[in-house]
Amino acid sequence: MPTVKNYLSLVKFSHTIFAMPFAMIGFFLALYGRESLTRLFDEDQLPSSWSVNYGYDFIGKKLLLVIICMVTARSAAMAFNRYLDRNFDAKNPRTAIREIPRGIISANNALIFTLVSCLLFLVSCFFINKICFYLSPVALFVILFYSYTKRFTPLCHLVLGLGLSLAPIGAYLAVTGKFDLLPILFSFAVIFWVSGFDIIYALQDIEFDKSQNLYSIPTALGKIKSLRVSEILHLLSAVCVIAAGIYGDFHWFTDPMKIIATGLTAVHTKDLLSFLKKYIDHEAIELMLIGEPKNLNDTDTHATPLVNQFIKKLQKEFPSIPVLKVDERYTSKRATEAMLQMGMKKKDRRNKKNVDEIAATIMLQEYLALNL
């Protein structure tokens, strides 16, 4: 008699942890909201900002239901795939050790497990909200339909990606009850990433799939071209993540390895000290770099005394954080050139906030390059 452990092995339950982040992206995007997510460091108490729009009971209930939906949907998809492919699995030496070919779990029991998982998914969606419940059959169709696609199209990898890409959108809908472009951008990132990975995974079964008249990108294009397609899909996934970051106006940070500098934001001088206080409360700051204005002949400009006065304020306010002056000459010009190379519109290039942010990023990047 099959045990719970056998069923968990049937659906590769341990791999759920790799799929769960897709749903959590949509869930927490919805909780924070686009505006508050981009102002993480402007909130004195982050948890209280949640309770403004969503009570803690609401958050806990929705999170539990989203997790149940994620687990049951994935379990249904995996079990149905094993059920439908049982004859192919029995012939393939790589998959012959799976539970159904070995007789550990019968095909009928696998199908019953699929139906129970689908039912639990539908019930969970019912308790989330109307739109999730109404769309739940569509989601089930997509994730179950994937198992048929290897029989007639090499684009089966994209259908697999489509199934997993429903997680960010679904979790977002669970909280907000409405669609938004931001989770959709993350969903496209999931489609391309999963599709690209699945193409690589399918390389190990090229010969077997050809012998059984099964379709895939590797059987259609061969190993080398398939890897190129996978590379393109991974690149598209990265583009979607970057696009989501730009659209969501997310903050950017110097990476922990201190190799790549990226801009955070531009702040008016009168607001800078209060901004830094809040920021330093949440982030460990090792050093502050300040651009020092100089003339071409290395003499002080009219702005140099003002900068020196501000440095004294910083040292008084944050005595434990060293302040270092760096030459800022030509950085604005280089920032403008960089914006041209990035294809930014003329009105964006004239925006002083953009120029200052990129110029500061250039100064930080040069400092990191010299002090690795």
Domain layout of the chain by residue ranges? 4-247, 269-370
Instruction: Give the tens place of pLDDT for each residue, 9-50.
Output: 888 887 777 778 889 889 988 876 544 443 333 443 333 434
Instruction: Give 6's contacts (C-beta < 8 A, 6+ positions apart).
Output: 99, 104, 105
Q: Which of 173, 222, 131 is nearest to 29 (CA)?
A: 173
Q: Which of 63, 69, 64 is nearest to 139 (CA)?
A: 69
Q: Which residues pair with 288 in a beta bridge?
A: 323
The CATH architecture assigned to 269-370 reads 2-Layer Sandwich (3.30)
Which pair of tokens denotes residue 235? Answer: 């690149």
Give residue 255's pLDDT. Answer: 53
The CATH architecture assigned to 4-247 reads Orthogonal Bundle (1.10)
Instruction: Give the tens place of pLDDT for each residue, 320-350.
Output: 999 998 888 888 888 887 777 667 778 877 8
Q: Decide if 76 contacts 131 (C-beta within 8 A).
A: no
**pLDDT band (50, 70, 90) for residue 362:** confident
Q: Decide if 147 contacts 80 (C-beta within 8 A).
A: yes
